Structure 1
Amino acid sequence: MTINAAFKGNLGDFTLDAAFEILAKGVAGLFGPSGGGKTTILRCIAGLERFSGNLSVNGEVWQDDAAKLFRKPHQRAVGYVFQEASLFPHLSVRRNLLFGAERGNKTGAGETFKLDDLVDLLGLSALMDRAPAALSGGERQRVAMGRALMSSPRLLLLDEPLSALDRQTKEELFPYLEDLHEALSIPSLYVSHDMSELERLADTLVLIDKGRVIASGPLHDLQADPALPLMSAPEAAVALTGRTNEIDKTYGLVTLAVNGGTLIVPSRQARLGEERRLSIKASDVSFTRAAPQETSILNCLPVKILSANVQERDPTHVNIVAALGENGEGARIVGRITRKSQEKLGLTEGANAYAQIKSIALAP
């Protein structure tokens, strides 16, 4: 099942002409610079903005201009979480959640939650009788997510839900978002201009800039595509999923099996067989043509070079895309090295090398 969206029109000086088709599964991140149209697209999907176009969710048509069909917001089974929690200040946490359930009785046709189960999932049990004014920013957002889910949505829309929070509060909220990702079968669209958020949560990515969709597809594929602007960003990285197959309690390390090899990463919380998401920054990857000897870097893996392109912003550096494994059949990683090093080592398409990964960020 898929989400098919196409919207076109003007809002003041802003022009929207965006279309994409993605699987209605997991979390799809809408990513791009501020002012590019991400929130406008989300509001069109919710029916809060009306541009010409078409929209279908899991085969159900919500907008079809040719057929003169447009479902109003209250007719769409959508759960919407805004940048600010927007809770009803005169209602307790419990009554805010139950308000979502009342809306779900009228419009919801998606996954139905029991209040107690959702309270446990979001860690709200100690907050149920509090007023929104007595909650922290992170607590308010957890309640807002709960209220959206209590409406039994077919689609969950999250509009930069962490942007108003400080870094510590964001880190406190991430485990709840990750638990929702694992526990829910509801597809979600998550707007952000912070790639580090999407690396931890998203399965699919829709790149948006200046009102247009540049590309869409699996997160890892777009991160490792040299034709896309993600590769040129200072924070260029790839997100991989690995399965824990060894735990070294003495040194606080775990070994993760990824497509094409294994990676050793610091972690004191791990279970054998569990999947973990990790991020490898381009700036933390270097290359050598010979297998390194007596090095402090724990992760030195054979790779095949897929592409080497000079940075447009900085022609003294080269972006390297490499695939894990001697045959280049594994997951792709990216590295950024000087042009002098690339030419000296002969790191061109098809070359075999070893990637030295200095640091790997592992989602808690």
Structure 2
Amino acid sequence: MTSAGNVIRVTLRRPEFTLDASLALAPRGITALFGASGSGKTTLLRCVAGLERPHDALVRIHDEVWQDDAAQVFKPAWQRPIGYVFQEASLFEHLDVRGNLGYASKRVPAGGSTRVGIDEAVELLGIGALLNRRASELSGGERQRVAIARALASQPTLLLLDEPLAALDHARRQEILPWLERLRDELAMPMLYVTHSADEVARLADTLVVLDHGKVVAAGPTATTLTNTSVPITLGDDAAALLAGTVQERDAQWHLVRVGFDGGELWLPDAGVEPGRRARVRVLARDVSIAMHAAQSSSIQNAIACTVDSIAPAAHASQVMVRLRCGDSTVLLARITARAADALALAPGMAVCAQVKSAGLVL
């Protein structure tokens, strides 16, 4: 999952907290930095970019040292081959899209990498039809796609994205998410993605790093970290499990698809995904109930045989979070009342049935 060549260790003391984070980046894919506002996500990103000077740090990307305080090495931001995408696109308004991309390409040093050329960036982000339009003529979603393409045109070895969808409405976010998925799947480049959206984490992240008051409290594969009941992300209203499955069949009559995964299957609303395609399925803990046996007659038609793995307190004292293991590698979360857990005498190792009232493909 990680690469010895991509190491980030940062210590930065601030009046409100001390950022003390250590992580290793995979050689490609999206690593999401998740946490509440003020947890240190953007500060960490700025330290990696060289925009903040930590008190003690080691930043090594693709075996190139950008900062090593022990060896008195510090490369300023302009010497670091990064692409940085902010919440606001910040395009040059007096230039058209082609001009914005061309300006970024001037940052590439002579004889530098040809990792992603302008033409490839245009194709990856689907902005070919926008090249002759002024920045002021673009929608919010179009502007952000151009901003990402501009970051790629600078030929970075690392792409940093600081809540790139935060300034967009729901419709524009849905418009740009497939393009971000494409970057994740097709670029041989690590990406650090700051967000406080659990939806974006579930859909985009390969690896999840959870920050709390400047500390890394959990890190690992997204599906594993999301079901770690000892970290804050599993306790709130967005607590959910992420399942890796394959679309098995479509039921045209009822507009449903069947997604199979290790340990079971789920019938979900048909989102136009063809059978055979791999898919992610997000199951919210609040949409899972527990029964001792599968119901014979019920409106809940998704029932999965599971084993209770653990029981932990939830955010409210009236509730508990039950971690359920289905098959060898699949984990579900169920948030139920403490009274219900007591009435069922739930305990680790007990065989139960998880009833999934709702779930969604996040592709």
Normalising by structure 1, we get a TM-score of: 0.94
* 1:98 alignment partner in structure 2: 102
How far residue 117 of structure 1 moved from its aligned partner, in angstroms, is: 3.3
* 1:60 alignment partner in structure 2: 64
* Alpha-carbon contact 2:288-2:356 (below 8 Å) kept: yes
Q: How many residues align?
A: 359
Q: What are the superposed Cα offsets for residues 19-48 of structure 1, whole Å, 9 maximum, x if unpaired? A: 222323210000001111111110111111
User: After the TM superposition, which residues 4-15 of structure 1 pair with which residues of structure 2 at under 5 Å, given as runs?
Assistant: 4-15=7-18
Cα gap change, 1:57 to 1:292, in 2 (>3 Å): same
- Work out whether 1:218 is the aligned partner of 2:216: no
* 1:206 alignment partner in structure 2: 209
* 2:325 alignment partner in structure 1: 323
| Alignment partners' CA distance in 2, 1:119 and 1:271 | 27
How far residue 11 of structure 1 moved from its aligned partner, in angstroms, is: 3.8
How far residue 13 of structure 1 moved from its aligned partner, in angstroms, is: 4.0
Q: What are the superposed Cα offsets for residues 303-338 of structure 1, whole Å, 9 maximum, x if unpaired? A: 010001232x4221110000113xxx2311101001
How far residue 284 of structure 1 moved from its aligned partner, in angstroms, is: 0.2
* 2:23 alignment partner in structure 1: 20
User: After the TM superposition, which residues 273-352 of structure 1 pair with which residues of structure 2 at under 5 Å, given as runs?
Assistant: 273-311=276-314, 313-325=315-327, 329-352=328-351
* 1:86 alignment partner in structure 2: 90
Can you give the 5+ residue segments of structure 2 that lack an aligned partner in the other structure?
none
Seq. identity, %: 42
How far residue 224 of structure 1 moved from its aligned partner, in angstroms, is: 0.8
> Secondary structure at the residue paired with 1:103?
coil
| Alignment partners' CA distance in 2, 1:207 and 1:45 | 17
Cα gap change, 1:188 to 1:110, in 2 (>3 Å): farther
* 1:42 alignment partner in structure 2: 45
* Alpha-carbon contact 1:301-1:356 (below 8 Å) kept: yes
Q: What are the superposed Cα offsets for residues 43-73 of structure 1, whole Å, 9 maximum, x if unpaired? A: 1111111112111113222111111111221
**What code does the residue aligned with 1:69 have?**
V
How far residue 124 of structure 1 moved from its aligned partner, in angstroms, is: 1.1
CA RMSD, aligned part only? 1.7
How far residue 246 of structure 1 moved from its aligned partner, in angstroms, is: 1.4
How far residue 107 of structure 1 moved from its aligned partner, in angstroms, is: 8.7
* 1:356 alignment partner in structure 2: 355
| Alignment partners' CA distance in 2, 1:107 and 1:214 | 41
| Alignment partners' CA distance in 2, 1:344 and 1:108 | 66
How far residue 105 of structure 1 moved from its aligned partner, in angstroms, is: 4.1
Corresponding residue to 1:121 among 124, 131, 138: 124
Q: What are the superposed Cα offsets for residues 144-203 of structure 1, whole Å, 9 maximum, x if unpaired? A: 000011112111100000111111111111111112222212111000111111111001
> Secondary structure at the residue paired with 1:100?
helix
> Secondary structure at the residue paired with 1:23?
coil
Can you give the 5+ residue segments of structure 1 that lack an aligned partner in the other structure?
none
* 1:132 alignment partner in structure 2: 135
Normalising by structure 2, we get a TM-score of: 0.94
